[in-house]
Amino acid sequence: MIAIERMRYLGALAGFLMSAAVFSGTLPAGYTQLMYIESTGTQYIDTGVVFAYTNGFSITYQVTSAESHQRFCGSIGSATDSRCCVGANSQGDGDVSLAYVGWNGLVVSSTAGVQDMSMGTIDVNYRNLRFYNCRDAGNGKVEVLKTQNATFCLFACKNSNGTLTYGKCRIMAFRISSGDNIAMDCVPARRDSDGVLGMYDIVGGAFFTNRGTGTFTGGAAIGKPGQSGYVVLDYLESTGAGQYIDTGVIFTGQHGFAITYQNVRPASFHVFCGSRADGDSRCFLGSNGQTTPTATIGWNTVVESGNVNDLCKGTASVNLYASKSYDCRGTSGSVSADLADQGSNTFALFAYKFNGSISNHGNCRISSFTMTKGSDVVMSLTPIRRLSDGALGMYDIDRRVFYPNLGSGEFLAGAPLEVVYTGGTVIVVR
């Protein structure tokens, strides 16, 4: 855990410097970490934590069935106040549902539906800004959470009289914060002695098992006791034939990003990362396709750097929150205006999303990617190979979420990076 947190801070300081060969096991001997655990609608976990407005939580989930008013996690104080509840509400049109926070719909995702088996991550902070980020919906604020005495549950929501409402879903990661501290950090796990599935809290050292009926099902193991589940790679490479990664985050004027990349296909217009809206695309990075191609930020060439035909790594960073500054392969300056609303176009790597579709696939390498909201790191991604099945993708250091290829074809990968763990410090050996 210390090593993971150390890598998170390195990523926040400089994404292109953050790299390591393997993530050390976060679970003690006797437990195996899983990709997820899944409920069928009668299982649930009770964390025992009473949720108050001074707390926040984060959950990474995957819906397995679109049904009316499912609950993925939470607790509520009354029928009129349920802002620490996450669920899905049936829209009555082919059982299409939308992810939401709160029974009264304080947050509703803008995705077409949550029955598509794609993952979503919801973050809620009731302590300071009272902000939320719900799947691919825009960021915003919620009202102060009313005090309630129901304990917070996973795969269900508990109200003040103890009544539970269940959901059918998978959970990949879950955290509760108290003030500035992480109070609970749960990962899906299997207890090796009896095969029981549950969520293991790596902060409190407790294993939470099913309190309902039936049994959980589990995803593939991502590491054995004392071993790692992932190998960090020097880079991930797309062939330009359809590979891409979708971060699920809509890029707004309050965000920034930093990416370390390497152009592979010269003399061709293609995209390294981004999302685009009509008339404004300053969260786009690509090659301009000239005989001597240059790196370009923005369809309207807000920024152009020097040659990207040299296979040397370049680092581009954009801050559209405060100073509106950019740095693209040594070319620095400032962006002229705030980023326009990106609509439902989430930010992608190795391509960009425009009008809801992926286009202009890149032929490039990415060594690191960091996204920020204001002064906070939203995600810090590094190239990785999952040991359970050999899949290549990007791994979010902070949330321990794996982002696979959602397109056609297969990624190529760079060499594994070696690390030495000394007193909780990660030392990269190159």
Closest C-alpha among 38, 95, 383, 389 to residue 215: 38
Closest CA to 70 of 157, 184, 1, 152: 157
Quick: pLDDT tens for 232-278.
888 999 998 899 999 888 776 567 888 999 888 887 888 999 888 77
Residue 338 has what pLDDT? 58
Q: Quick one: tokens of 71?
A: 């609950």
**Which residues are within 8 A (CB) of 233 and not within 5 positions of it... i.e. 6 or more apart?**
383, 384, 385, 392, 413, 414, 415, 416, 417
**pLDDT for position 173:** 86
Res 55: pLDDT: 73
**What CA–CA distances, in Å, run from 87 to 103, 211, 407?**
8, 19, 28
Closest by CA to 371, choosing from 350, 349, 354, 389, is 349
Q: Is 355 exposed, middle or buried (0-12, 13-18, 19+ CB in 10 A)?
A: exposed
Over the chain, what HEC string results? CHHHHHHHHHHHHCHHHCCCCECCCCCCCCEEEECCEECCCCCCEEEEEECCCCEEEEEEEEECCCCCCEEEEEECCECCECCEEEEEEECCCCCCEEEEECCCCCEECCCCCCCCCCEEEEEEECCCCCEEEECCCCCEECCCCCCCCCEEEECEEECCCCCEEECCEEEEEEEEEECCEEEEEEEEEEECCCCCEEEEECCCCEEEECCCCCCCEECCECCCCCCCCEEEECCEECCCCCCCEEEEEECCCCEEEEEEEEECCCCCEEEEEEEEECCECCCEEEEECCCCCEEEECCCCCEEEEECCCCCCEEEEEECCCCCEEEECCEEEECCCCCCCCCCCEEEECCEEECCEEECCCCEEEEEEEEEECCEEEEEEEEEEECCCCCEEEEECCCCEEEECCCCCCCEECCECEEEEECCEEEEEC
Q: How far apart are CA 355 and CA 226, in angstroms?
A: 45
Count of CB atoms within 10 A of residue 185's CB? 23
Q: Is the pLDDT of residue 315 over 90?
A: no
96 pLDDT band (50/70/90 cuts)?
low
Question: Residue 227: what pLDDT?
Answer: 44
Q: What CATH architecture applies to the domain 29-218?
A: Sandwich (2.60)
Q: How far apart are CA 66 and CA 95, in angstroms?
A: 6
Average model confidence (pLDDT) for the chain?
A: 75
337 pLDDT more than 70: no
**Both tokens assigned to 154:** 């996973």
Q: What is the mean pLDDT of residues 197-219?
A: 93
Q: For the beta carbon of residue 405, count every other beta carbon within 10 angstroms.
A: 20
Higher pLDDT, 25 or 168: 168
Question: Among residues 157, 161, 153, which one has the least CA distance to residue 209?
Answer: 153
Output the six-digit token pair for 87: 């669920």
Q: How confident is the model at residue 207 (pLDDT cuts 50, 70, 90)?
A: very high
Of the two residues 4 and 197, the one the predictor is more confident about is 197
Q: Are strands 269-276 and 352-354 parallel, antiparallel or unpaired?
A: parallel
The region of weakest confidence among 22-26, 358-362, 378-382 is 22-26
The reply to whether 236-417 shares the fold of 29-218 is: yes
Q: What is the pLDDT of residue 45?
A: 97
Is pLDDT above 70 for 144? no
Backbone angles phi, psi at 418, to 5 degrees: -95, 145
- Give the per-residue pLDDT at 15: 26
CA 43 and chain centroid, separation: 25
- CB neighbours of 418 closer than 8 A, spacing ≥ 6? 21, 428, 429, 430
Instruction: Give the amino acid at 124.
Output: V
Beta carbons within 10 angstroms of residue 338's beta carbon = 14
Query: What is the structure's pLDDT at 216?
Result: 95
Of the candidate CATH numbers 1.25.40.10, 3.90.1150.30, 3.40.50.1000, 2.60.120.200, the domain formed by 236-417 belongs to 2.60.120.200
CB 318 within 8 A of CB 297: yes
pLDDT exceeds cutoff 60 at 418 = no
**For the chain, which residues make up each domain, given as ranges?**
29-218, 236-417
Confidence label for 400 from pLDDT (cuts 50, 70 and 90): confident
- Which residue did the predictor score with more confidence, 336 or 178? 178
Residue 201 or residue 321, greater confidence? 201
- How does residue 67 score in pLDDT terms, banded at 50, 70 and 90? low
User: Where is pLDDT greater, at 106 or 368?
Assistant: 368
pLDDT given at position 419 = 44
Whole-number Å distance between alpha carbons of 277 and 284: 10
Contact criterion met (CB below 8 Å) for 142 and 83 = yes
More confident residue, 406 or 341: 406
Quick check: 428 pLDDT over 60? no
Q: Cα(211)–Cα(230) distance, rounded to whole angstroms? A: 31
Share of the chain above pLDDT 90, in %: 18
Which of 48-57, 99-108, 208-217, 356-365 has the lowest average pLDDT?
Answer: 99-108
Looking at residue 379, what is its pLDDT?
A: 86
Segment among 329-333, 359-363, 420-424 with least mean pLDDT: 420-424
Identify residue 109 by its one-letter amino acid code. S
Is the pLDDT at 411 greater than 70, yes or no? yes
**pLDDT average, residue stretch 348-370:** 89
pLDDT at residue 121 in the model: 74
More confident residue, 258 or 305: 258
Give, in order, the Cα–Cα distances in Å from 92 to each of 70, 97, 116, 136, 167: 14, 8, 16, 21, 17
The strand pair at 55-63 and 119-125 is best described as: antiparallel
